[in-house]
Structure formats: structure tokens, C-alpha cells
Amino acid sequence: MSSTESSHNRRVSLLTLGCARNEVDSEELAGRLAAGGWQLSDDPESSDVIVVNTCGFVEQAKKDSVDTLLAAADTGAKVVAVGCMAERYGKELAENLPEADAVLGFDHYPHLAERLVDIAEGRPVESHTPTDRRTLLPITPVDRQAATDEVTVPGHAGWGPRVLRSRLDDSPVAPLKIASGCDRRCSFCAIPSFRGSFVSRHPDELVAEAEWLATQGVRELFLVSENSTSYGKDLDRSLGGTRALERLLPRLAAVDGIDRVRVSYLQPAETRPDLVRVIATTPGVADYFDLSFQHASESVLRRMRRFGSTESFLKLIEQIRSYAPDAGIRTNVIVGFPGETEEDVAELERFLTEARLDAVGVFGYSDEDGTEAETFDGKLDEDVITERVGRIAALVEELSAQRAEGRIGSVVDVLVESVDEEIVGRAAHQAPEVDGECVVLGDLDCKVGELLRCEVVDSAGVDLVVRPLDRPAVEPDVAT
């Protein structure tokens, strides 16, 4: 009996934790499982197998992943861990979490349908043995594309007559993975060790997937990777090389049915003037800049193995706003890094005050297994880190609210995402889930996925209250 026949009528649910990159991986896995004969189910309680796509980025994400695995085991279904935490810890996770029937790594993905049949039928599947995935591909970026046939890269399943991906929701927004892995060596980050070296996807493959997503009701593409500014550095120069993203964005924006393309995960030190111009001025591309500043003190940035300063970051922001004064700009910062002084915190406060960003994620430093920073001297007490996080978070809340208030009177295009009790969507400067939303006034007859031209009339924190300019409100029924 073939594996497809063995999986016939068997149901599988996928639960996804972590970032949008994991969401793409889950939809690729869903496509593989459907092609392998499994029935996808959004009801874990009635599934034969529950696949949990874990996150292993920080301690809280790991805890959430473990809690989800334990809850899945309580359903009585077979439980399989995949994703970053499974890839990072493999057999160690399996030994410490017997509730999981298997812990599978990225190399299991091409044959996941067959492995789930084995698990469903009670046959043991050996858990993943972790390795540093940076060692699996050539050091030289231009040599990597030829080697990817021998290495599994999640979200790079190939393309052709059929996109190997199944949507797991009906949102009008979908992440599109343009690359995987990272060549940077930030001292606090373990991601490259389990995600591997940087590998771009072919631009034609991305356009084909964008076209398919448009047929699935997607209206906004959210381009994701570990480092989008590196896109193309491993591609042939005929495809654009390090300028490949500038060439790709207009192609994606021209896809029929796609209203907006958004880029995420930009490294400030690699954000070129031409890329700024293309993002800020290309019709259909959101003038939105997700810039990974992490800090503003030069001394802290050097210990992080990063580049930049308050002045260089402010210059980049000035360049962006010279093209698009209302551009959305967000970042994340790490507070309490080993050796951080009160002067360093003051420098971060100065930068945030002058930068006037739309949204800032504030994170307290914590050691991550296997990172360089784990070995650093100058670790701060937990109560000091907590106090500094609270102080920066309070400043960010005030500044981002002021930035939102400054948008009152401006005109924004709102992509409608919910029409339940109220109409809710997002403007170009608001990325999914992290940057606030727009609440649309009026009793309108509109649908999810519509783009409404609106005037901003009020704000609440980072959220905006908007009034449609080109859509009259529905008049209430009046008894005659």
C-alpha cells in the first residue's frame, strides 16, 4: 500500500507559533500533506495527528511551544513537533517531552506525509539530530543556489504548474517568503545556526506564488525573510544580484489582484538609497520600513556585532521621509544587553525621541543557548533589565501615540480585514498584528479584502479612527 493510500481519510491539524516565516512554512507543509493524501483539518480534537510548528527564538516562545505541544497531547491525537524549536533541540526536546510522538527537523519536511503515516500507525520515527545548518551550504553566497537541491530549506519547495502551498486561513493578507537563513553574526542571536546560511528564492518563483496567492483572495503580500536587504546576493547578476529586491518589488506590485506589497526585516546597515527610493515611491508598494535598529548606542551595537549609531540611523530616517513624509517606520530594540550603561540607555532614549517612529517593540535581554553574548561579562541584574524595559516601553508608548495623533487629517488607504461588530483594517504604515489598526466609522456595506480611501479623524494609542471618503454609509431602513 502506498503512503498516499495509507493516509487516505486521515486528518491532520497544523498549529503554528512564532513569526510570519513559520506561517509560510506551515502552509508549505499543508501543501505537502494534502498532496500526500492527508485531509487538512482546523479541528485538532478530531484529527489523527497534530503537527505543531514550534518557535525557538526566545524563552517565552519556547515555553509557548511546549505548552501547545502538551495541550495537543491532551486531545488523544498523535503529536509531532516541527519548526525552529524542534530543529534547534531535536532529540533533547524529544527526551524531555515524551508527550510528543516525534520531533522532526527541516530535513523531514519533503517526506512528512510518509512520516506521519508511520507515526499514526505506531511505527517509531527517529527524532531529529541537530546540526549547525550554516555548514550545509557553501560559504560563498553565489555557490549556494546550485547546492540547495541537496539541502532542505523550509519555504523553498519549488514551483511549476502548481504552487506547493495550501492556505490555512482566508485572510486577505499573506506572507511571501523571499529568502531563508542569515549570514550575519549578531552576538545575541541563534537563528543562523538552526535556519542556516542566507538563500534567496528565484524572482520568477516568487511572482508565480504571488499570482497563485491572488487567486486565493490575497490582496496584500507581506514579504518575509531573516534579512530582506540581502535578497539577491546569492543570485546570478542577470537576476539583479544585490539589486534584485529593487527589481522584484515592481513585478509583485503589478500582479493582478494584489493591491499592496509590504517588505519586512530590513537591516539598516544594508538599506541602500535605491531600495529606499523604490519602497517609498513605487505604486502598490507600501511606504513602510521595518528596520532592525536593536539599539542606538555605538558601544552596545558593537558588542551586538552590529553597525550604526544614532546619527546614521537618523540620517536613514531623514532619507526615507524625504521621499515619503508619512512613511511608516518601525523597529525592535533590546534593553539590558551585557555591559549596557545608563549613558547607553540615555542615548537610546535620545534616538527614539528624535526618530518619531510609528511602532517599537521593546525586549529585555536574555541569554540564548550557543550565542556569543551568552559568554559576555557585564550581565545586568534582572530587576535592572525590567526597570529599563519599563522605562523605554513607557517612552515608546507616548511617542508612538504622538506619531499616530499627528496623522489626524491625513488620507490613508485601509485594507479591510474584519467586518464583524465593526469594520477594522490597516493602513500602509501598519503591518499585520504589530503596528496597530484602523477602525472605520459608519455602517458600510463592504467586504473583507476591500481597499477603502479614508480620512483619519482620531487616534487611540497607535490605532486610528478613520472615515471613508469614497463610500457612502448605508442608510438605515425606515418604516413607511
Give the model's confidence band at 479: pLDDT under 50 very low, under 70 low, under 90 confident, else very high. Answer: very low
Name the fold adopted by 410-468: OB fold (Dihydrolipoamide Acetyltransferase, E2P) (2.40.50)
Of 155-169, 196-210, 422-436, least confident by mean pLDDT is 155-169
Q: Distance between CA 159 and CA 276 in Å, rounded?
A: 30
Grid cell in block for residue 106 = 527541516
Residue 453 has pLDDT above 60, yes or no: yes
Say what the pLDDT of residue 471 is.
67
Instruction: Put residue 410 in one of left, alpha, beta given phi > 0 → left and psi -120 to 50 → alpha.
Output: beta
Say what the pLDDT of residue 400 is.
96
Grid cell in block for residue 431 = 503591518
pLDDT in tens, 209-240: 999 999 999 999 999 999 999 999 999 888 88
Query: Is the domain 11-130 a CATH 3.40.50.12160 member?
Result: yes
- Residue ranges of the domains in the chain? 11-130, 135-405, 410-468
Say what the pLDDT of residue 442 is.
86
Q: Read off the pLDDT of each residue in 405-432 and give the average, rounded to a whole number.
A: 95
Say what the pLDDT of residue 242 is.
87
Give the model's confidence band at 149: pLDDT under 50 very low, under 70 low, under 90 confident, else very high. Answer: confident
Give the model's confidence band at 405: pLDDT under 50 very low, under 70 low, under 90 confident, else very high. Answer: very high
Residue 304 has pLDDT above 60, yes or no: yes
Q: What is the DSSP letter of 295?
A: -
Residue 163 has pLDDT above 90, yes or no: no
Q: Read off the pLDDT of each residue in 438-445 and give the average, rounded to a whole number.
A: 90
Of 50-64, 280-294, 465-479, least confident by mean pLDDT is 465-479
Contact 416, 408 (CB under 8 A): no
Q: How many CB atoms lie within 10 A of CB 246?
A: 19
Say what the pLDDT of residue 8 is.
64
Q: Read off the pLDDT of each residue in 322-328 and give the average, rounded to a whole number.
A: 96
Give the model's confidence band at 474: pLDDT under 50 very low, under 70 low, under 90 confident, else very high. Answer: very low
Say what the pLDDT of residue 101 is.
94
pLDDT in tens, 37-55: 999 999 999 999 999 999 9
Cβ burial 109-121 (10 Å sphere, 16+ → b, else e): beebbbbbbbbbe
Say what the pLDDT of residue 6 is.
60
Q: Answer whether 135-405 and 410-468 agree in fold.
A: no
Q: Distance between CA 208 and CA 288 in Å, rounded?
A: 24
Of 440, 439, 438, 426, nearest to 474 by C-alpha is 440
182 appears as a binding residue in the annotation: yes
Say what the pLDDT of residue 148 is.
78
Q: Distance between CA 211 and CA 205 in Å, rounded?
A: 10
Say what the pLDDT of residue 159 is.
55
Say what the pLDDT of residue 158 is.
58
438 appears as a binding residue in the annotation: no
Residue 2 has pLDDT above 90, yes or no: no
pLDDT in tens, 246-297: 999 999 999 999 999 999 999 999 999 999 999 999 999 999 999 999 999 9
Q: How many CB atoms lie within 10 A of CB 245?
A: 27
Q: Distance between CA 141 and CA 262 in Å, rounded?
A: 25
Residue 472 backbone phi and psi in degrees, to 5: -70, 150
Say what the pLDDT of residue 379 is.
97
189 appears as a binding residue in the annotation: yes
Write down the mean pLDDT value for the chain.
91
* 372 vs 143: which has the higher pLDDT: 372
Q: What CA–CA distances, in Å, run from 160 to 154, 157, 163, 201, 206?
A: 17, 10, 7, 14, 11
Give the model's confidence band at 4: pLDDT under 50 very low, under 70 low, under 90 confident, else very high. Answer: low
- Domain 135-405 carries which CATH code? 3.80.30.20
Taking the CA atoms of residue 199, residue 205, residue 209 and residue 212 in that order, the dihedral angle to the nearest 10 degrees is: -170
Of 442, 267, 295, 303, nearest to 377 by C-alpha is 303
454 appears as a binding residue in the annotation: no
Contact 418, 450 (CB under 8 A): no
Q: How many CB atoms lie within 10 A of CB 37?
A: 17
Contact 305, 372 (CB under 8 A): yes
Q: Read off the pLDDT of each residue in 15-35 and give the average, rounded to a whole number.
A: 92
Instruction: Put residue 224 in one of left, alpha, beta given phi > 0 → left and psi -120 to 50 → alpha.
Output: beta
